[in-house]
Amino acid sequence: MTYLDLQKDLAEQGYVASDDLAMALHLAVTLGRPLLLEGAAGVGKTEVARALAAARDTRLIRLQCYEGLDAAQAIYEWNYQRQLLAIQASGKTGKEAEAQIFSEDYLLERPLLQAIRQDTPPVLLIDEIDRADEEFEAYLLEVLADFQITVPELGTITAKSRPLVVLTANGTRDLSDALRRRCLYAHVDYPDRKTELAILDARCPGLSAQLSGQIVGFVQDLRKEDLVKKPGVAEMLDFAAALAGLGVADLTEDPAALMAAMATLLKTEADRGAVPAEVAQRLAGRAA
């Protein structure tokens, strides 16, 4: 399999990947290495993992990172209520009771443990790793290198199959060199005009060629404006859906509808202010 095959498989899932991204994914699959994707919010980093899982017909296990994420939420947790009941019901104490309650039956799998215990290799998406604390990042290094997890009460659990790991980050904090070194890397940018048109066609096949050209041109121009939150690909698709829902066939024909649909693109007060109706009209006129 070459990276072009992978690119085609992803396209069938509605994900249009650039050559560089497809190559990085291809290497991640063949070499069994984690892949770190960086880029602005909304360029489709998370979607890559979803499309990859669909293309390889395997499970997607997602770990959403946040500040304070710890082992209990990321790796495993014990089912405390059942443990307490079990001790009381059995009437055992000491070693016996301990052996009973710290067993598989009472283990709750969280995404990381789940990912290494699948029979077929899943896609493990570690989303927004830069939101997690440095401690967690350091812990991940071990998991990503050896694909094994140690539960103190049970011992070391080694992966049945090596998951395909995709990490995403969008620069909330700088990641450590150690993590970067363990991963392959691809920088995902906003798609170029041609790619974005292909994405729009794949996702909203009903649109006329003229309107989809206008939508993509409009959104691409809008990204060049000085905005706090630049609209991503998902926003572009929402925008297209909104326009279709409002029955707009041409961006320039109905300024009121255009402004209404802009609610899908501009998500802050400041950005709404930065693109008043006249500016939107001008952009639409240029895109037409």
Q: What is the DSSP letter of 262?
A: G
Copy the structure tokens of residue 128: 């927004």
Closest to 183 (Cα-Cα) out of 133, 148, 140, 149: 140
Among 12, 84, 150, 286, binds other proteins (CB under 8 A): 84
Name which position in 186, 240, 243, 280 contacts other proteins (CB under 8 A): 186
Q: Which stretch binds other proteins (CB under 8 A): 17-25, 51-59, 111-119, 235-243?
A: 17-25
Count of H helices and E strands in the chain?
15, 9
CA distances from 282 to 159, 176, 278 (A): 56, 44, 6
Convert 238-253 to b/e letters by CB count within 10 Å (16 or more is b): bbbebbbeeebeebee
Binding of other proteins by 150 (CB under 8 A): no
Identify which range of 60-68, 154-162, 207-215, 216-224 contacts other proteins by CB under 8 A: 60-68
Among positions 12, 135, 142, 146, the unique one binding other proteins when judged by CB under 8 A: 135
Of 5, 8, 12, 20, the residue at the interface with other proteins (CB under 8 A) is: 20
229-288: which residues touch other proteins (CB under 8 A)? none
Q: Does 164 bind other proteins (CB under 8 A)?
A: no
Verify binding: residue 174, other proteins, rule CB under 8 A.
yes
Closest separation in Å from C-beta 149 to other proteins = 16
54 binds other proteins (CB under 8 A): no
- Asked if 44 and 233 count as a contact pair (C-beta separation under 8 A), the reply is yes
